[in-house]
Chain A
Amino acid sequence: MIQLSPPARKSDPIDLAYARDIVDGDLELLQEIVTLFLFDCSYQVAALQEAVASGSGNAVTAKAHRLKCSLGNIGGWQAYQLVCEMELMGLRNDLSGADECLFHLTAAMEDIVAFFAQPNWAEQAEDGATFDEAQ
């Protein structure tokens, strides 16, 4: 039977239960993708900042989309929502709110990096309850 986790509280920078479902409970794999994410995320945010500065809606859509994929895989919902907004701004070719979004995104990304800097984050992932267990 497939077991899926419930959504996390909106205030958490990372939804570890969701991230665990993404990798089918394989915490070693989760640690690998977190390492990949941390290696890549600052470049992706910088690329998004450049896209906003260029004023190109297409570029903002592409860079926001790429970062969205990465954030979704680790359950980084606060930042995910912000890049979703930016992707839509690009699609609409209206970047009037993009600078403000970037400001909040930078803070949300800092929260994510701080979260994964905690030595016990993987233990928290191990402790998460599945949807069926929570019923």
Chain B
Amino acid sequence: MNHSHRILAIDDDPLTLHIVEHVLQKHGYEVFTAGNGHDGLELARVLKPDLVILDIMMPGLDGFQVCRKLRENPETAVITVLMLTARGAIDKPVSDPVDFAQRVRDQLNGYHVGASDFLTKPVKAAVLVERVRSLIWSGRN
């Protein structure tokens, strides 16, 4: 199956990039990866992907800064952005007030800089695929 949609994943965690790349390629997407925000911005400008999957917490440019720069550049301003966050322990959703406040702040900041949606890492492949499918469908219509 070939959707011929182009996806750029930006994350400093090589395991996450490897998984995202292989899982989405298996579902027919053309996937590119960048290990930091600077490389990701350059690839986004050149490739003009249908979707950017963007980690929030990265050294150097973080996900919010990358997303803001994507929106500021007319060449990349309309690209759909799915943010990945690993804030918080997945089985302790609201147990720590500091953690919870940070997660809420992350989401608000993300929407503020133009993200379309969020996924919490670690992401199960099936969930990732369905979210990507949904966002690309929304972006097309």
Contacts and interface: CB of A to CB of B under 8 A. Distances in A.
Interface residues of A, number: 31
Contacts of B59: 62
Interface stretch (B37-45, B72-80, B110-118, B124-132): B124-132
A66 B14 CA distance: 10
Given A22-B125, A84-B89, A84-B92, A92 B98 contact: yes
Nearest to A84: B89
Interface residues of B, number: 31
Contacts of A36: 14-15, 18
Contacts, number: 83
A43 to B, nearest CB: 12
Interface string A67-103: 0111011110000110010001001100000000000
Interface in A33-52: 33, 36-37, 40
B18 A32 contact: yes
Contact of B121 (A72, A81, A88): A72
Interface of A: 2-4, 7, 21-24, 26, 29, 32-33, 36-37, 40, 62, 65-66, 68-70, 72-75, 80-81, 84, 88, 91-92
